[in-house]
Amino acid sequence: MEQLLELHLPNILGAEKEAIKKAVTIAEKLGFARDRIEDLKTALAEACINAIEHGNKFDQNKKVRVTLAANNKSLEVIVHDEGEGIDPKKIPTKRVRDDGLPCRRGYGVFLMSNLMNEFYFEKNPGKGNNVKMLMHLNG
């Protein structure tokens, strides 16, 4: 089964819920386990919220595009924003600050990269940014 769905979301918090609903429907049809679907929901929510906040900087004149591409082996998710975005090298990788307290930022990328089988960030100056994630059906 090959399936491709593209959604254009308004750049407001909460809009990610529509993409999550569609992704869950596709993942259920593919036969993903419930815990993997929960991982997918979390990763997709993080990617959309990051696109709204960091990519598009809450500019309501911009959109977030979510592409869901499914086949019988995997589900690919691409979240595209229209902003300048952030430098991926500046994303915090430490979970704990030097004073022992937890870091407050950077968990979204940590979650996406650990919940999905594959995770890529592409910065395209003047053309927006893409977060690409892939979840394999088996594995």
Is the model's pLDDT at 139 over the cut of 70?
Answer: no
CATH number at residue 21: 3.30.565.10
List beta partners, residue 131. Answer: 79, 121
Q: Could you tell me how far CA 65 lies from the centroid of its own chain?
A: 11
Q: Are 105 and 90 in contact (CB under 8 A)?
A: no
Q: 3-class SS at 47?
A: helix
| pTM, two decimal places | 0.88
Q: Residue 115 sits in which domain range?
A: 3-136
What is the pLDDT averaged over residues 123-127? 83
* Total number of domains in the chain: 1
Q: What is the model's pLDDT at position 78?
A: 98
> Quick one: pLDDT band at residue 34, thresholds 50, 70, 90?
very high
At 110 the pLDDT is 84
Q: In this predicted structure, what is the pLDDT of residue 126?
A: 80
pLDDT digits (tens, 9 = 90+) for 6-26: 999 999 999 999 999 999 999
Backbone angles phi, psi at 95, to 5 degrees: -95, -20
User: Which residues, 6+ apart, have CB-to-CB distance to 120 below 8 Å?
Assistant: 130, 131, 132, 133
Q: Would you state the pLDDT for residue 116?
A: 97
Q: What is the pLDDT of residues 55-104, one digit of tens each?
A: 999 999 999 999 999 999 999 999 999 998 666 666 666 666 677 766 66
